[in-house]
Amino acid sequence: MGIISETYNDSGIVILTIERPKALNAINREVMQGFNHFFFEGYKKYEKLTGVIITGSGRKAFVAGADIKEFSNHNREEATKLSTYGHNTYFLIERFHVPVIAAVNGFALGGGCELAMACHMRIAGEHARFGQPEVNLGVIPGYGGTQRLVQLIGKGKAIELLLTADMIDAKEAHRLGLANHVVPSGMEVQMAESILKKIGTKGPIAVAKVIETVNAHFDSQIHAFEKEQVEFGKSIDSEDGREGAAAFIEKRRPVFKGK
């Protein structure tokens, strides 16, 4: 078992578990490299992949932040490179072609909250806590926190949480739109699996293109409405698109092939 364990089931779902319970699953260099490798190329070993779940080991934390000891003595250039690597890794997650769900089983703070926000959805256990406490250390979030928190909950509340370093509980996270669902503690992965199994019955091409076009909304270099038009045309002209239409007309379940 490595610093990130992988579990694959017959539904095509991979569960990635951060295995640093004594450190409350804090993100260190090895954890970040593990995520970078998996979402860049490691996933290719799974022929049928319908979804990914990220969670933390133990019962206290999803990820309680970044490992401060690793960057406390960084100079400006080193810190910028660290941030850039984190951004690039989290972009791999955000832009992944199948849905990625964070099963938040405890503290999701700092880099952990940023990791959860890079996922497409977040399932929070009832004892989960979210926050960006970086200003307590005299620094700002470095893995996309100032951007994704605004995207998910709006500028006013986001800047309040970023400036006060206040933690919010699962119910408040759900009310604000940071968490998709709140479930009893210990049921986070099960809920995530049920969502991914439902998505797994849909057209793989359509699923990938939904993720791609939604992400385009937040990319200033892309005209997102035009992007949707182009990708809609591609999906209609795919084998899956034609199969879906035929199945609807023939009143049967479609058989998608991801082509």
Q: What is the pLDDT of residues 104-130, one digit of tens each?
A: 999 999 999 999 999 999 999 999 999
SS3 for the chain, per residue? Answer: CCCEEEEECCCCEEEEEECCHHHCCCECHHHHHHHHHHHHCHHHHCCCCCEEEEEECCCCEEECCECHHHHCCCCHHHHHHHHHHHHHHHHHHHCCCCCEEEEECCEEECHHHHHHHHCCEEEEECCCEEECCHHHHCCCCCCCHHHHHHHHHCHHHHHHHHHHCCCEEHHHHHHHCCCCEEECCCCHHHHHHHHHHHHCCCCHHHHHHHHHHHHHCCCCCCCHHHHHHHHHHHHHCCHHHHHHHHHHHCCCCCCCCCC
Residues 176-223 pLDDT 10s: 999 999 999 999 999 999 999 999 999 999 999 999 999 999 888 889
Mean pLDDT value across residues 62-66: 92
Q: What percent of the chain has pLDDT over 70?
A: 99
CA pair distance 92, 86, nearest whole angstrom: 10
Two tokens at 240?
A: 């899956």
pLDDT at residue 2, rounded to an integer: 65
Mean pLDDT value across residues 27-36: 95
pLDDT at residue 83, rounded to an integer: 93
> Which residues 6+ apart lie within 8 Å of 138 measured at CB?
none
Residue among 199, 206, 202, 214 at smallest CA distance from 236:
206
Residues 81-106 pLDDT 10s: 999 999 999 999 999 999 999 999 99
pLDDT at residue 58, rounded to an integer: 92
pLDDT at residue 1 greater than cutoff 70:
no
pLDDT at residue 197, rounded to an integer: 97
CA pair distance 31, 18, nearest whole angstrom: 7
- Residues 131 and 109: beta-carbon distance below 8 Å: yes
pLDDT at residue 199, rounded to an integer: 97
User: Looking at per-residue confidence, does 33 or 250 come out higher?
Assistant: 33
For the annotated catalytic residues, the residue numbers are 114, 134
pLDDT at residue 239, rounded to an integer: 84
Q: Report the mean per-residue pLDDT for the chain.
A: 94
